[in-house]
Every structure is written in structure tokens, then in C-alpha cells.
A and B are shown apart, each in its own frame.
Chain A
Amino acid sequence: MEEEIIGQLKNLKKISPSAEFRLASLRLITAAPQEKPRVFRINIKEMVTLGTALVLASLMLVILLGGFSDSSQSLAGRESPRFDIQISQAQYFENEAVQRDVALRLQRIEAGVRQFDDSSQSGLLNEIYELRKTLIP
């Protein structure tokens, strides 16, 4: 049965368009303008211009990205020194307060020592002087 069907289908090969249609259709077709293929063609001048533009664009991109990354680095970098500075400042102020306190105490001791006699006074005053020098160079 399959061969019978195929045999009958082959009869359809006799279908063909009329000569009149073929003639008229072909005449109209070949009279129509052809579309030019869209091919990517560039000459040397265009290639150079395009290349330069691409290089400049890439450079600009690098600069922009580099600028951003630098600024972000510096932002990150700035945070830690600022933190360090704050700590050192705190330490400095703390030390200064201690120094001031010690200096005031020494001043009071010095005033007390000056009430003693000269022999014992000079030895104590020398010692105070040395201590003050060590405290405030």
C-alpha cells in the first residue's frame, strides 16, 4: 500500500505553472531592483579613524576606572590613618595631662623644698631639676 501511495504522489510531479504565468512573473522579477547585501566594509582611512577612536575610548575608560579605583583606595586609606591619628592624639593628650600633673606636683614639692636649709635644699632642688628635664625634654 505504501508503494501505491508513493506512486500516486509521484503523479503530482506533473504539476507546473502555466507558461503565461512564468513569462509574466519572470519579466516582473528581473525588472525589479536587487537589494545590495549588507556587508561590513571599511576602507583604510575609516579603519584608522575607528582604531584611534577605540584606543581613545579605551584610554578614557582606563582613566575613569583608574580614577575611581584610586579614589576608592584613598578613601579606604584615609580611614585608617585618621583612626591612627585619633588614637595617637588621645595618647598624646593623655600623656600631656600626666606630664602636666607631674609638673605641678614637682612645682609644689620645689616650693616646699625651698623652705628647707641651703645644704639639704640644693640637693633636693637638683634632683627635682633632673626629674623635670626627664619629664619635659
Chain B
Amino acid sequence: MLDNENKLIKRAKRGDGEAFRALYDHYVSAIYRFVLLKVGHKRDAEDLTHDVFLSAWQNIGSYRLRGLPFSSWLYRIARNRVIDHYRTRKVGISINDVDERLLGVIDHVERDADRAISFARVVSCFEKLSPDQKDVTILRFIDELSHREIAQALGKSEGAVRLIQHRALRALQLLLEDHEPPANEI
């Protein structure tokens, strides 16, 4: 959360573009990451991220400061946009495409040859998780949100979030055990 977030939100509510820019700069990477890991395509992720912030800008007047945290509000919009995206386009994700689709990401990730599990294998297995497991994994381990924040963002109880997190990690472990390493990794 930004230090002066509430003030920025109040200003943005009055149509202050500069205030919204500060909010955008702070949250855009997290939302983009969340969307990209859900849809898998850079262009779609950019379009959806743009839609999320456009919706936030247009509807910030109805956002209540004492209600949901702003980040959770944004994640909710993003989650709904992703659901709509899948509903309308019915895009399937192929694990074989993962390196190609996330090439831009992998290039930025440090590759540690000594690691037992490679980054690419984790990403491949991550894509096999259920939508809820993906949401919780991203928000908990990548964006490092608290269980409470995740619960608010996903509209679930904290207990449910903990359970999904446990199952997601267990599923990832099982998938990694079964997953054959690509030939270039051996």
C-alpha cells in the first residue's frame, strides 16, 4: 500500500489524473503479472491490464475508502476481466508454448544451474493448477499479499485461501515429481 494512498484515491475520485498515475505506477506491474500468468499471452495481458485500470479510473468514484483495500479492488476487477476473457475467447493454454510465451520473463530471470528445480519446469507445472490455485499462488508467493488481503481480493474466507494455498503447493510438488525435465535441461 502506498503511504498517501487514501489521499491519492480522493484526488483521483475528483478526476485528478496525476494522482491516478501514482496509483497506476504502484500497482500496474502486480496486475499485469497476475493477468499474464493467468492468460499466458503478452498481448492479451496488456489489453486486459489496460481494461482493468481503465475500469478503475472510470469507476473510482464508486470505490469506498473504508471498504475493500484498493489493491484488492484492482485484483477483483482483474480477476473478473480474466474470467470474461476466457468466457468469450475460450483460449486454451498449451504447456509446450510456455517458454515461447514467457520468453520475455525467462530472459530476465537468473538461471541457477545448481537448483534442483528449474524455473521453466515450475512455470510449466504452475499452468496446470486450477484457476483458484493460480490466483492464490500468484497473490501469496509472487505478490506476497497476506492471507487476509488475498481473501478480500478473491471474495473467499482466509481459511479457504490457506486451504487452496496448501493444495496448490501440494499439486505443484506432485506435478514437478511427474514432470519430465526438457532435454536441454538434462
A residues near B (Cβ < 8 Å) are 1-2, 4-6, 8-17, 21-22, 25-26, 28-30, 32-38
Contacts and interface: CB of A to CB of B under 8 A. Distances in A.
Nearest to A11: B109
Contacts of A22: 24-25, 28
A5 B122 contact: yes
Contacts of B119: 8, 11
A1 B173 contact: yes
A-B CB proximity, top 4 nearest: A30-B17, A37-B61, A8-B122, A16-B29
A28 B142 CA distance: 28
B172 interface: yes
Contact of B58 (A1, A14, A34): A34
Interface stretch (B86-94, B110-118, B149-157): B110-118
B32 A1 contact: no
Interface of B: 15, 17, 20-21, 24-25, 28-29, 32-33, 36-37, 45-46, 49-50, 53-54, 57-62, 105, 108-110, 115-119, 122-123, 126, 137-138, 141-143, 169, 172-173, 176
Contacts of B176: 1, 5
A2 B174 CA distance: 11
Given A5-B122, A5-B172, A17-B28, A34 B15 contact: yes
Contacts of B169: 2, 5-6
Contacts of B172: 5
Contacts of B24: 22, 26, 29
A25 B45 CA distance: 12
B177 to A, nearest CB: 9
A34 B57 CA distance: 7
A10 B110 CA distance: 11
A15 B32 contact: yes
Contacts of B62: 35, 37-38
A21 B28 CA distance: 11
Interface of A is mostly: helix
Nearest to A17: B32
Nearest to A36: B61
B120 to A, nearest CB: 9
A30 B122 contact: no
A14 B108 contact: yes
Contact of A30 (B57, B59, B123, B173): B57
A9 B21 contact: no
B165 to A, nearest CB: 10
Contacts of A26: 21, 24, 53
A8 to B, nearest CB: 4
B54 A32 contact: yes
